Amino acid sequence: MSHTSEEMMAVAAARRLHDGDVCFVGIGLPSKAANLARATHAPRCVLIYESGTIGAKPLNLPLSIGDGELAETADAVVGVPEIFAYWLQAGRIDVGFLGAAQTDRHGNLNSTVIGDYDHPRVRLPGGGGAPEIAASCKQTLVILKQSPRTFVERLDFRTSVGFGDGPGSRERLGLRGRGITAVITDLGELEPDPETLELTLARVHPGVGVEQAVAATGWPLAVRDDLEESARPTGRELKALRALRTADERERAG
């Protein structure tokens, strides 16, 4: 079965979740990937949305973090102060799953503005839950399409901290989680180098050349010696991914 680069990205991200993981999910691609994991290899993955829904099991892909179906299918629905204080900050979440507009080489993320803060070229929605998700989850995964505009030498705004300025930064800042463990893109997968904590190309997706990933990165991208190729999406994965629909899409499809 042939697939698009966006499908490859969602599948590669979903594979990073393990059965039973407790996952704090951002809306959009992270939610799609987490629900794909639940529909395939990780049926007991616990999905938590910042609207306070714990253990949501939506049949339809949610359009927003507060869809009614998330509340109807959740094990518990709690208030927003509780979800951030008792559940996220207290260190009960295994995996945070985020999107962003920009990342730098240390996995710091921008979801606030492009350009100057006071006179932005593009005003983005802002941090929402991301700053504390990146701070407090045991590990954080990021999904972001790779281009020189998104993988930048210098962020326009640091909304969420990956590895700050490099080794020692997270410890100095008192951030308890391990930080960004992978950035999954439409071209491949980047992981922090164990020494420098710089995002390094660990995998390319089938049909993608290393030079393509390097050209799509705004800093001199290091490539791992043991660079791997991602496994193609299986028929089962693609079928499950294409079956994920928002309630509206399902209705339109009849």
**Other beta carbons less than 10 A from residue 71's beta carbon:** 16
| Contact stretch for another protein (CB under 8 A) within 36-44, 81-89, 194-202, 205-213 | 81-89
Nearer to another protein, 52 or 188 (CB): 52
d(CA 46, CA 169): 30
Catalytic residues: 50
Contacts to another protein from residues 209-228, by CB under 8 A: none
| Contact stretch for another protein (CB under 8 A) within 8-16, 34-42, 78-86, 201-209 | 78-86
Q: Check binding of 246 to another protein (CB under 8 A).
A: yes
Of 5, 73, 89, 147, which one interacts with another protein (CB under 8 A)?
89
d(CA 73, CA 52): 12
Q: Check binding of 99 to another protein (CB under 8 A).
A: no
Nearer to another protein, 130 or 183 (CB): 130
Of 3, 57, 73, 77, which one interacts with another protein (CB under 8 A)?
77
Question: Where along the sequence are the contacts to another protein (CB under 8 A)?
Answer: 27, 50-53, 63-68, 70-71, 77, 79-81, 84-85, 88-89, 112, 117, 119-120, 122-132, 135-136, 157-161, 164, 169-170, 173-176, 246-248
